[in-house]
Structure 1
């Protein structure tokens, strides 16, 4: 399987894990070095991201990829640009909308993990 196919596969795993708040799978897919800029502009790491799912502060009821573009930078680094339609609750407040994600995936040994990400709401 080539790197592009592998990235498509881990992106699908990530979407399923986000929908179900699967902490084991999210832990496997997120690098310990992860930094994410959220739609509110806050910078969070892996521990904070997992804590949000663990505490139920983020609950997704729908997550649909509307567009995904993969840019391979090397055999071990890829950037994914995704447009996602989301619906759910954040801190018990309902939300629905389109969000643009930029994710940097890095392969270490045979495992791909997200090392950096940025999320923006789309008007």
Structure 2
């Protein structure tokens, strides 16, 4: 089995766990130091994500993958997955297209999610504007979206990653 296939299998295990609110499986797939930025821009930790499933606040009835890309790194991988979501979040109905960018890393011999960003797909129209803005050194708010653009985006992301960090933190 290739590394890429293994990552895709873990993405599928995650999708199934989210669909069934299988907190045990989610707990095994998500690192205890998870940093998750939801589609509202809120930074959540692992326990908040698990509790949303445990309590039933988040209930997915369908998660359909429409596109998935995997970028393998040394001991980690980045996935960018477009999905169509259906379900409920509290009293609100969910029916939207989302893009999840996840960083998977080997921890104690197991692949775990260490970071994730959820972004509504209606932001994808901003990719080319963002690509222009990033070259002008503006904050890298939507770095994950670059991976969904043409192949040149991955190279742009690698070249600009340190600059993005410096811009966001003010460190040089």
The answer to whether the superposition gives a TM-score over 0.5 is yes
- Partners in 1 of 2:97 and 2:86 — Cα distance? 9
* 1:41 alignment counterpart: 41
Alignment of 1:21-100 (within 5 A): 21-74=21-74, 76-100=75-99
Runs of 4+ in 1 over 2 A off after TM superposition: none
Normalized per residue, which structure has more strand? 1
* 2:117 alignment counterpart: 118
Normalized per residue, which structure has more helix? 2
Give me the TM-score of the superposition, normalised by structure 2. Answer: 0.69
- Partners in 1 of 2:48 and 2:96 — Cα distance? 23
- Partners in 1 of 2:92 and 2:34 — Cα distance? 26
Note the C-alpha offset of 1:26.
0.2
What CA deviation, in whole Å up to 9, does each residue of 1:38-77 have, x standing for no partner?
Answer: 0011000100000100110100000000000000011x20
What CA deviation, in whole Å up to 9, does each residue of 1:71-123 have, x standing for no partner?
Answer: 0011x200000101000000121020100110000012331000000001112
- Segments of structure 1 that go 5 or more residues without pairing to the other structure are none
* 2:106 alignment counterpart: 107
Query: Superposition RMSD on alpha carbons, in Å?
Result: 0.7
- Partners in 1 of 2:90 and 2:76 — Cα distance? 33
